[in-house]
Chains A and B, each alone.
Chain A
Amino acid sequence: MQLSISLLEITRAIDSWLNSVFHPHLAYGIELVLAGVAVILLVVAMAILMVYAERKLAGFMQLRLGPMRVGKWGTMQAVADVMKLLLKECLTPTNSDKLMFRVAPFVVTIVSFMTLVPIAFAKGIQLWDINIGVFYITAVSSLSVIGILMAGWSSNNKYSLLGAMRSGAQIVSYELSGGLALIVVVMMSGTLSISGIVQAQADGWWIIKGHIPVIIAFVTFVITSTAELNRAPFDLAEAESELTAGYHTEYSGMQFAMFFLSEYTNMFVLSMVAATVFLGGWMPFHIAGLDGLNHFMDYIPGIVWFFGKTFFILFLIVWFRWTFPRLRIDQLLKLEWKYLLPVSIINVLFAAFIALMGWYL
């Protein structure tokens, strides 16, 4: 009936076929590789799509057309960019810390891919339904700061160092409110697992039935994730007009492309998390009691719902970027420590009260 179920059947079919041909351990290994490759391909493809979409969107917001010449409507523009970066020389500055300089982009990229593990793309399409999914994502995503600090330090460039330090301060600060925003939903759903949270929204998304605390948490989460992504208006770590290119000033070619890729991957992951936690993930739009509507919504496959919500949040993030000026470093930290964090803490208390009383719909 639904595409999501058919996707589930495909994965099950592959699983049983592999088990019948190979030794179960080998089959498990093959499945891991297949799943990894599939997810990486998906993410790279989506990153390319997103780069194109962002440039087009920016164009339309700025009274111009954006890429037009490479392929029809410039659709191949991002592909050309990626190809070009692949073929470009990778320079390592003479006085840099060479090992760290070369490892840093890998750290950042691997961390951003690791955060994809517990994401549920559709019903049953999930790499690992780990029971502490939300916790895993918050824990792993904060590791990327290590890669950024490595990049900034090893480049032997003062702009890079400044950028990395800014990024460190920023990511460490904004982790807090981001985590607290997720806790609100975790408390209401009563589970940390991603699939559990999605299931809890079968009768309505949290943003609708969760009252004010979830709306506050959603807004906080979108702000903090923009900050964690180092994107405008929080792009201080790579502030072009101040620090030329921040922590990746010295990176060229593919190494730079990996930073770029990880930024876009992180953007996806955080949008996907927001979509899952607050907007119901692959769960269609349901209103308890209206069975006709619910059935109609069920006809739209879960994967469409999921990516639709993800792209909505991505659009928000892109919209911020092309609208707002950049904050200053002290204002950035002030926003977190003086406004977002107290609000989040009070919000958690408020949400706990509501969750205890069962006042959500």
Chain B
Amino acid sequence: METNDIKHDEFVINVGPQHPSTHGVLRLELWLDGEEIIDSKPHLGYIHRGIEKMSEALGYKQFIYLTSRMDYLSAHINNQACSLAIEKGLQIEAPARAQVIRVLMAELTRLASHQLWWGALGLDLGAVSPFFYAFREREMILEIFEETCGSRLTMNYITPGGVVNDLHPDFVRKVKVLIEQLKGNLHEYYQLLTGNVIFQARTRGVGILSAEDAVSLGCTGPVARASGVKCDVRKLHPYDGYDKVEFKEVLNDKGDNFARYWLRIEEMKQSIYIIEQLIDNIPEGSYREKLKGIVKLPAGEYYQRVETARGELGVYLVSDGKKEPYRVRFRTPNFSNLNALRPMMKGAKIGDMVSMMATLDLIIPDIDR
């Protein structure tokens, strides 16, 4: 780029709000020199729904449903974060059975989310078939969710004090079938994308994010872990009995697209491992601690961090003792992960932009809230 004698003609294009690679309604302004990206600037707010403001008008138990619509691929985990924050304020803890159910649901959510990401990544890189293979197992997970929670995507199943209702009697069997099938099918993932020459050429060494940048930009989740930053909330600040299960925090130090890709695939294996440990050991007992209809939190502030499929979600509740929260703030993982796009994109090609956005795994409603 340092060719001062050549006059570069800048060429500005708008990617989005309606563009297949933005996975939603993100708008990126790109300054191009031919195929090369000089600079980029995100424009947000096309799906800003004011969830934080809306939550201030709803009761503590009520506003949780809005969080399912935030990062809709980690709906369970979002609900879990809010429930934990409220439980923290009420100084109660969910019963053991509820905790295990929550962890199981959270890990299944993570699996489903990563599968969707995997399919969409293929789609973005021009390989259509992985999408259909990814949805094969994803649909099984959604079926399991539907049986227990009654919904496929926005469940509102985890509630302060536990979970809304008990597991479906078929839950354990179906999860076991799922795990068996998933383990057998992971080699197809390898054949379709991981081992593909073109795929490797498109991802290796592309979109490098250094560890310093990742920390400074506030990246969390798989994006930061692929750069070698330890940030798994499940390990650092265990919640809901994550300290009782065994799993590995997957790390990679390359920080490129392939590292992020590999990391998510490995994370899926870890999730399967967690589910395997818990599925036969769901404790008996009550699944929910009965709370009063209207919950009031003592005045003060409560911060709960959880690990969603995309990184650290922070729920910051400020209470003034009334039945509605005074201020609700969601520190969403995608909002900070989006920051990584600009340093990564400098000097990259348009084709790389697509793969970078895909490996960052952005969910736009989670950014805009």
A binding-site residues for B, Cβ under 8 Å = 58, 61-64, 158-159, 162, 166, 232-233, 235-236, 239-244, 322-331
Contacts and interface: CB of A to CB of B under 8 A. Distances in A.
Interface string B101-141: 00000000000000000000011111111011100100000
Interface stretch (B50-58, B158-166, B347-355, B359-367): B347-355
Contacts of B190: none
A233 B193 CA distance: 13
Contacts of B127: 232, 323-326
A265 to B, nearest CB: 23
Contact of B35 (A61, A159, A329): A329
A330 B21 CA distance: 20
29 contacts: A62-B129, A62-B132, A62-B133, A162-B350, A232-B126, A236-B351, A239-B126, A240-B20, A241-B20, A241-B21, A242-B354, A244-B20, A322-B128, A322-B129, A323-B129, A324-B126, A324-B196, A324-B198, A325-B122, A325-B125, A325-B126, A325-B199, A326-B127, A326-B351, A328-B349, A328-B351, A328-B352, A329-B35, A329-B351
A233 B198 contact: yes
Q: Kindly list the 7 A-B residue pairs having the minimum CB-CB distance in the complex, ordered from nearest.
A: A326-B126, A62-B132, A325-B125, A325-B127, A328-B351, A241-B21, A241-B124
Contacts of B352: 328
A329 B349 contact: yes
- Contact-residue bracket for chain B: 20 to 34
B198 A158 contact: no
Given A240-B20, A242-B351, 6 more contacts: A58-B128, A61-B129, A241-B125, A325-B127, A326-B202, A327-B201
Contacts, number: 84
A243 B132 CA distance: 23
B128 A62 contact: yes
Nearest to A321: B128
Contacts of B198: 233, 324-327, 331
B13 interface: yes
Contacts of A326: 125-127, 198, 202, 351
A232 B129 CA distance: 12
A244 B15 CA distance: 10
Interface string B321-355: 00000000000000000000000000001111110
Contacts of A244: 19-20
Contact of A63 (B128, B133, B201, B353): B133
B349 A241 contact: no
A235 B128 CA distance: 13
B182 to A, nearest CB: 15
A123 B276 CA distance: 66
Contacts of B196: 324-325
B46 interface: no
A158 B11 contact: yes
A142 to B, nearest CB: 22
Contacts of B11: 158
Nearest to B127: A325
A327 B202 contact: yes
Nearest to B201: A331
B351 A239 contact: yes
A340 to B, nearest CB: 15
Contacts of B128: 58, 62, 322
Contacts of B193: 325
A155 to B, nearest CB: 14
A61 B188 CA distance: 13
Contacts of B19: 244
B40 to A, nearest CB: 14
Interface string B189-201: 0001100101101
B279 to A, nearest CB: 26
Contacts of A58: 128
A232 B13 CA distance: 24
A326 B124 CA distance: 9
Given A233-B198, A325-B202, A63 B136 contact: yes
A325 B131 CA distance: 12
A324 B198 CA distance: 7
A330 B125 CA distance: 15
A319 to B, nearest CB: 11
A240 B351 CA distance: 11
Contacts of B125: 241, 325-326
Interface in B142-171: none
Interface in B170-198: 192-193, 196, 198
A235 B198 CA distance: 13
